[in-house]
Amino acid sequence: MFKELDPLLHSQLRLAIMSLLLSVEEADFVYIRQKTGATAGNLSVQIEKLSEARYIDVRKFIDGKKPRTVCRITKTGIDAFQKYVDALKGYIG
Amino acid sequence: MEKTFTEKDSLNLINEMILQARNNFRKDSATAIIVSGYSVAAVAILNFVLLHVIEPSYLSFHVWWLMIILWLVTIYINHSKDKQTLVKTHIDRIISNVWRGFALSVVVLMATIFGIAFATNNWSIALGITPAILILTGFAQYITGIVCRFRPYVSGGCVFWLGALATVGSYFLNMAELQFIILAVCMILGFVVPGHLINKKAKENV
């Protein structure tokens, strides 16, 4: 029987964000935008959703005069990602 | 677009994003290592020259206090780089901890060697400082090269190890002052050359 795919992760941009963050220690909003090619507005919304689910930890601060947003995947996020990949394997066989 | 996002697309996307995060040699990432290489080489040559100029010659070793300035400059460079960096990878964390461990090892090594020298009133043990530092530097550089998969850093590590052996060879020839020339050569071949190569590679990546 197929396991249900986590709807929060089964979205192109959110999955891209999670995959990127899984591969690095932490990443700036600008870096994620460069790598995913998403618009700033859409990216903000998806980051907010992942943060609300506690899949990622978002740190906002002022660096000199520049506002910065730095994201990092959480233990909950890693577990959810692992479950998502396990479920995917079931579909692809 | 979201509606046609299939399970196979998911796997492809995961792969693509993981690949995107790999092999990111960042612009000027080796600046600290290049500055360290040139500075230590310059101080080593200065020590070699002063050995033949100053009386008593052991006073020439005080030039190494200049390393405190280098240490502060390196902290400043790394701090500025950290502020500009948009991503911190797991590899960055490993490498920065390897060099932190190296710095602590050098401090403990110096304390140990000078401690033994004072306790036994035998300063010949100080001859071990240069080879020991070269071995530690070679180890840290070798690990850095392996972790970031950059062969010139691995070769640089080997240069430092060979330098340690060459230093001991110079002691056999009763030419201990050559240790400073060997140290300078190792710094240029082990730090400066691979450092410039990695910065060049980073520019090509941009």
Question: Could you give phi then psi for residue A64, rounded to 5 degrees?
Answer: 70, -110
Look at residue B141 and tell me whether its pLDDT is greater than 60.
yes
pLDDT at B159 over 90: yes
Residues of B in contact with A63 (CB under 8 A): 83
Element (H, E) at A49: helix A40-52
A30 pLDDT above the threshold of 80 = yes
Whether pLDDT at B96 is above 60: yes
Q: How far apart are CA B113 and CA B107, in angstroms?
A: 10
Q: What pLDDT shows up at residue B74?
A: 86
* Minimal-distance CA residue of chain A relative to B83: A63
Any A CB within 8 A of B87 CB: yes
Q: Which residue of A has its CA nearest to B6?
A: A10
pLDDT of residue B132: 97
Domains of chain A from N-terminus onward: 12-87 (1.10.10.10)
B59–chain A Cβ distance below 8 A for any pair:
no
Task: Tally A–B CB contacts below 8 A.
Answer: 68
ipTM over 0.85: no
Whether the ω angle into residue B56 lies within 30 degrees of 0, i.e. cis, is yes
pTM above 0.90, yes or no: no
What burial class does residue B116 get, using C-beta atoms within 10 Å of its C-beta: 0-12 exposed, 13-18 middle, 19+ buried? middle
- Where are the extended beta strands (E) located within B62-140? 87-89
The nearest CA of chain B is from the CA of A74 a distance in Å of: 14
The two counts, helices (H) then strands (E), for chain B are 8, 1
